[in-house]
Amino acid sequence: MNTIANLSRVVAGMWRVMRWNMTPVELAGFIEACIDMGVTSFDHADIYGDYAAESAFGAALALQPSLRARMQLITKAGIRAVSPARPGHRVKHYDSSALHLRESVERSLRALRTEHVELFLLHRPDPLMDEDDLAREIEKLIGEGKIGAFGVSNFTAREFDALHACVPLATNQIELSPFHSAPIENGALVAMKSAGITPMVWSPLGGGRLFDEKDDAAARVRHALQHIQAQRALSSWVSVAYAWVLRLPSRPTVIAGTRRIEGMRDAVEALDIDLTREEWFSVWEAARGRAVD
Ligand SMILES: NC(=O)c1ccc[n+]([C@@H]2O[C@H](COP(=O)([O-])OP(=O)(O)OC[C@H]3O[C@@H](n4cnc5c(N)ncnc54)[C@H](OP(=O)(O)O)[C@@H]3O)[C@@H](O)[C@H]2O)c1
């Protein structure tokens, strides 16, 4: 089984970091606390925080450079967003060209203040992708030691297989939660499992939907999770939501998007919860609003 660049099974997601309004000192403290509890991998993308998140992380890291050796960094590129930070972009689009990917990797390394990232992902499938051009550039970036491994994000099973035939892919980072279970039904997870590839899962709590008081499906899922928590005398029902993803036989890595160390602890505690089939299906049934056929 592929171990995706030695990532921790729970990864800290940096998508929302600019909204956390942490000072570099506070962010360095958060990073260190994550590492101390075994969350050693940090998920970035060039576009996060309107192209500012990687620099904020790099500034925090500069305060405690010794943390770098204890962590794995993941970043992504391939989306050109319309932003004041990129005045040349007039239309939001995908760009998997060799030139763009190289420029993006080199810019990310400068922002993160590191010589290399352990894992680099193509953020979205690009309909105009030239697979051979991309494969050659990825090989060069790996050869130069700038990226440890390459993978993709948001690829369907077919898109994954097609690119995997041209360049070895370490993972496919996909959205998955009780609210977004398409990858369970459309073959994306099965394809990765049969190829020996470990998926990475984003928005495992539905991007916070799980906590929405006005959302009926969320209320049902909370109820199902709290029932399991009570039966097992667990300290947190949120851990059960992470355990729902971790229970899948493809053994996904989960990317937790919380700004709170206690929230990160919920994810780590899920590693010790092995849901029964009935528990797992009760959560899925709650999200679907009906039993499986
Ligand atoms: N590849 C892609 O296309 C893609 C797309 C989206 C995201 N991602 C990655 O996946 C990561 C995770 O995504 P996500 O942030 O949407 O994940 P998530 O973990 O599903 O949602 C995080 C949200 O849930 C909230 N939350 C967590 N525990 C809570 C609690 N006990 N009570 C109330 N609210 C709680 C968090 O708020 P608090 O901070 O207040 O806890 C945060 O707003 C991102 O950071 C990014 O790295 C990748």
Closest atom of ligand 1 to CA, residue 177: 20
Tell me, using a 6 A CB cutoff, whether residue 110 lines ligand 1: no
Tell me, in angstroms, the distance from the centre of ligand 1 to residue 132's CA: 34
- What mean pLDDT is reported for the chain? 97
Please state which CATH number belongs to domain 10-170.
3.20.20.100
What's the confidence (pLDDT) of residue 191?
86
* Of 48, 51, 94, 242, catalytic: 48
Q: How far apart are CA 258 and CA 131, in angstroms?
A: 35
Weakly modelled stretches of the chain, pLDDT under 50: 1
Tell me, in angstroms, the distance from the centre of ligand 1 to residue 293's CA: 31
Following DSSP, what letter does each residue of the chain receive, concatenated?
---TTT--SEEEE-TTGGGGT--HHHHHHHHHHHHHTT--EEE--TTHHHHTHHHHHHHHHHHSGGGGGG-EEEEEE-EE--BTTBTT--S-EE---HHHHHHHHHHHHHHHT-S-EEEEEE-S--TT--HHHHHHHHHHHHHTTSEEEEEEES--HHHHHHHHTTS----EEEE-BTTB-HHHHSSHHHHHHHTT---EEE-TTGGGGGG-TT-HHHHHHHHHHHHHHHHHT-S-HHHHHHHHHHTSTT--EEEE--S-HHHHHHHHHGGG----HHHHHHHHHHHHTS---
Q: Whose CA is nearest to atom 23 of ligand 1?
A: 208
What's the confidence (pLDDT) of residue 80?
97
242 is catalytic: no
| Orientation of helix 157-164 relative to helix 131-143, angle to 10° | 60
Q: Whose CA is nearest to atom 45 of ligand 1?
A: 13
Tell me, in angstroms, the distance from the centre of ligand 1 to residue 261's CA: 13
Closest atom of ligand 1 to CA, residue 76: 1
Tell me, using a 6 A CB cutoff, whether residue 173 lines ligand 1: yes
What's the confidence (pLDDT) of residue 44?
98
Best probe residue, ligand 1, of 14, 16, 179 (max atoms within 8 Å of C-beta):
16
What's the confidence (pLDDT) of residue 16?
98
